[in-house]
Structure 1
Amino acid sequence: MSHLDHTPSTPGKFKIDKSPYYSRTRWHSSVAKLTLWSSLFVTFLFLFFYRSPSSSSNNPPSSDPSRRYLASATWGGAAWEKRVRTSARIRSRNGFSVLVTGAAGFVGTHVSSALKRRGDGVLGIDNFNDYYDPTLKRARQALLERGGVFIVEGDINDVALLKKLFDIVPFTHVMHLAAQAGVRYAMQNPGSYVHSNIAGFVSLLEVCKDADPQPAIVWASSSSVYGLNTKVPFSEKDRTDQPASLYAATKKAGEEIAHTYNHIYGLSLTGLRFFTVYGPWGRPDMAYFFFTKDILKGKSIPIFEAANHGTVARDFTYIDDIVKGCLGSLDTAEKSTGSGGKKKRPAQLRVFNLGNTSPVPVTDLVSILERLLKVKAKRNVMKLPRNGDVPYTHANISYAQKEFGYKATTDLQTGLKKFVRWYLSYYGDKKAVAR
């Protein structure tokens, strides 16, 4: 493959009239309680899970064998710095220079590619861990490098590396997508979520607050923060203090940490709550991905049902629609207001839902895959386990619509068709292609 989903569309920059953030987007009155809750929670997590990695700028942490890094993350030197500058060079009028963390990830690859195609300067950073098949991440890396995007291999907890990157490039924006993903894996390796989603976020914010100029930051939160809420569709104004998983709790903690750095240091921060993203170059741990794999192999697939035989449904959102939301958030992000680590005036703070607004039962997703693959799935219906999964997600996207015209346009049938086409091509399943 030499392009993304045979190349998703590239939205142009959004042009809107901006109004003062304070007049409409300050978090609701319960923020003080939430901040206190989050502070206590983060303290608890650090005490019980966090182990400070080596501060070596050349080697990522390797104390956890289940999260080992697969290659040396050495950096530095004239040739390396030249690659960094070349990748981050802006090639369009009024373009941005964007540092994309987690650039070899699913969303990171698509966002980096879209930014580069429209003329922005893009530099990626990724640690290439082995949470899932690292060869897929390497293939994404090769894809981006053919498009002119260089990915620095390193960890976001490596403060020396981050400072070096900001010394070389005066980034106008950061798209922070690096994170330990997945709800269920937290039961096996909770420390990895604290290391990436909390400690890593703080490390990045520490460097950004001291940068001159400070960049505007857009970062990936998650729809998982809605946790045990039963009111749907989920709105940004709903309570988010009932996480159902450690993953959700770390993302919620990230939102409170973002509030703190905005309040103290004047960093412009926009959080994005993604709703079940799917599509080409996706994550193998996601249901639609491993369903496809197991259906083709004739293996049974787990179909969960909620209590009392209730339906489990998800607001599946195609990757191109998520990219539109990411770029729209970048384009409408106001500048940070701090200098030298000191806040001069109030800065922008926002959080958006990015979803499709059309929840689909997981059973329907399987039926669509059966038609596309021309294979009957072996369904194994079972109760939804107590592992952090929630029975239903549904996004209210009215706020993102108002701020930058966000609207998802890809239905599940169309999106899965594009995914299956990519999957069969990438994995070379000749038997499946022949069906």
Structure 2
Amino acid sequence: MKILITGAAGFIGFNLCKSLMNLKSYELIGIDNINDYYDSELKYDRLIELGIAPKKASSFNTLSSSSLNNKFKFVRVSLEDKTSLVKIFKDFQFDIVCNLGAQAGVRYSITNPDTYVNSNIIGFLNILECCKDFKVKHLIYASSSSIYGLNKEIPFSTSSTTDKPISLYAASKKSNELMAHTYSYLFKLKTTGLRFFTVYGPWGRPDMAMFLFVDAIIKGKPIKVFNNGDMERDFTYIDDIVEGIKLVIDKKTKNSLYKIYNIGRGKSIKLNHFIEVIEKRLGKKANKQLLELQPGDVLKTWADTSSFRKDYGFEAKTGVESGVTSFIEWYKKYYKQE
């Protein structure tokens, strides 16, 4: 089975590649544009972890084979580059596409809207077109809990209203779901959208709360706590997210051509409690800088994962205490803080 994973140098894409690359039943191609939204060195180090070397950016512009597994290959390309995407699809004839590549970040979308239109909408359209033209059997793509926006029905259900997003990032993800529905309806393309809830863990993004808090506390810097910490998030550990995606890849269901699922821990946790767990694991108190709720932020997220559990047997297994410990261990090792 040939699988394309977009965003392969990103947090979730990297972890999925790492989990799949040694399985005999898969041939993997990873793509990523390695943009500068956050430290590109982290992205290159993820690729090196997957056996893609050397580290120089220019070396990633053409197809590179992994030194760890000849069934994993990587090419640096943007989703907006339709000509290159068409060539990749034509050369490899993928069975499944996992579209995890996108411009992330709620707050960044407020000041850099063009980036989100280019990557998340035009880029996703190119993926849909290639999947249609090259008869891909199944497109699995990343959506987001942020699309629930001003919805006040808790926990968030896939049957809940999602027509009031409060950031362009959320709007772009909602657009992806609508676009996928159109292609499923018109061209019988099987699509499955996964609404991720606050993913964290080793190799995580530096702009996410987990990373920002640990980094600042270790360095003795203040942490920014929005809405005085009176927010709740359904923090979901990366290994649970990866296992959920793998279930969708592996398991054949009788579902309709178009499906949407929540994929989260299924438990909402106070931000202040999350910080307390980090403090306990680090053995060091945080210097909190209490701030107002930021534009684009919602007060609470909580995933109703019942439909995903029913169809795929999904069950998130990693609690916050265990997940925070794993992240801190990785952070200290990667940044030589031990």
Contact 1:268–1:334 (8 Å) recurs in 2:
no
- Find the residue that maps to 1:399 and give its secondary structure: helix
Q: Does residue 384 of structure 1 match 2:306?
A: no
Q: Does residue 401 of structure 1 match 2:306?
A: no
- Find the residue that maps to 1:254 and give its secondary structure: helix
Structure 2 counterpart of 1:370: 279
Structure 2 counterpart of 1:204: 127
Q: Does residue 217 of structure 1 match 2:123?
A: no
Q: Distance in 2 between matches of 1:360 and 1:151?
A: 37
Contact 2:229–2:270 (8 Å) recurs in 1:
no
Name the TM-score, length of structure 2 as normaliser. 0.92
Q: Does residue 322 of structure 1 match 2:231?
A: no
Contact 2:156–2:302 (8 Å) recurs in 1:
yes
Q: Which amino acid aligns with 1:116?
A: M
Q: Distance in 2 between matches of 1:166 and 1:194?
A: 23
- Find the residue that maps to 1:221 and give its secondary structure: strand
Q: Distance in 1 between matches of 2:116 and 2:68?
A: 31
Q: Distance in 2 between matches of 1:116 and 1:143?
A: 12
Question: Which structure 2 residues correspond to residues 139-178 of structure 1 after superposition, within 5 A?
Answer: 139-145=45-51, 146-148=67-69, 149-178=72-101
Question: Quick one: which of 151, 165, 189 aligns to 1:267?
Answer: 189
Structure 2 counterpart of 1:29: none
Structure 2 counterpart of 1:138: 44
- Find the residue that maps to 2:284 and give its secondary structure: coil
- Find the residue that maps to 1:117 and give its secondary structure: coil
The structural deviation recorded for 1:333 is 5.3
CA offsets 1:36-76 (integer angstroms, 9 cap, x no match): xxxxxxxxxxxxxxxxxxxxxxxxxxxxxxxxxxxxxxxxx
Question: Which structure 2 residues correspond to residues 97-116 of structure 1 after superposition, within 5 A?
Answer: 97-116=2-21
Question: Which structure 2 residues correspond to residues 31-46 of structure 1 after superposition, within 5 A?
Answer: none
Identity across aligned pairs (percent)?
44
The structural deviation recorded for 1:332 is 3.2
Q: Which amino acid aligns with 2:102?
A: A
Q: Find the structure with the greater CA-based Rg.
A: 1
Q: Which amino acid aligns with 1:165?
A: I
Q: Which runs of 5+ in 2 are unaligned?
A: 52-66
Q: Which amino acid aligns with 1:156?
A: L
Contact 1:101–1:176 (8 Å) recurs in 2:
yes
Contact 2:229–2:290 (8 Å) recurs in 1:
no
Structure 2 counterpart of 1:43: none
CA offsets 1:110-161 (integer angstroms, 9 cap, x no match): 1111121222111000000000000000000111125433220011121221
CA offsets 1:225-265 (integer angstroms, 9 cap, x no match): 11111111000000000001110001001100000111111
Structure 1 counterpart of 2:263: 354
Structure 2 counterpart of 1:235: 157
Question: Which structure 2 residues correspond to residues 234-313 of structure 1 after superposition, within 5 A?
Answer: 234-305=156-227, 311-313=230-232
Contact 2:3–2:98 (8 Å) recurs in 1:
yes
- Count of paired positions: 320
Q: Which amino acid aligns with 1:362?
A: L
- Find the residue that maps to 2:262 and give its secondary structure: strand
Structure 1 counterpart of 2:112: 189
Contact 1:98–1:172 (8 Å) recurs in 2:
yes
- Find the residue that maps to 2:21 and give its secondary structure: helix
Q: Distance in 2 between matches of 1:173 and 1:227?
A: 30
Q: Which sits farther off after the overlay, 393-402 or 156-165?
A: 156-165
The structural deviation recorded for 1:298 is 1.0
- Find the residue that maps to 1:424 and give its secondary structure: helix
The structural deviation recorded for 1:347 is 6.0
Contact 2:244–2:263 (8 Å) recurs in 1:
yes
Contact 1:262–1:347 (8 Å) recurs in 2:
no
Name the TM-score, length of structure 1 as normaliser. 0.72
The structural deviation recorded for 1:189 is 0.6
CA offsets 1:303-357 (integer angstroms, 9 cap, x no match): 122xxx782010000000000111111123569xxxxxxxxxx961101100001
Q: Which amino acid aligns with 1:367?
A: E
- Find the residue that maps to 2:50 and give its secondary structure: helix
**What is the CA RMSD across the aligned residues, in angstroms?**
1.5
- Find the residue that maps to 2:98 and give its secondary structure: strand
Contact 1:300–1:380 (8 Å) recurs in 2:
yes
- Name segments (4+ residues, structure 1) moved above 6 Å: none
Q: Distance in 1 between matches of 2:276 and 2:241?
A: 24
Contact 2:30–2:74 (8 Å) recurs in 1:
yes
Structure 1 162/298 Cα, relative in aligned 2: closer, same or farther at 3 Å?
same
Q: Distance in 2 between matches of 1:192 and 1:144?
A: 27
Contact 1:222–1:274 (8 Å) recurs in 2:
yes
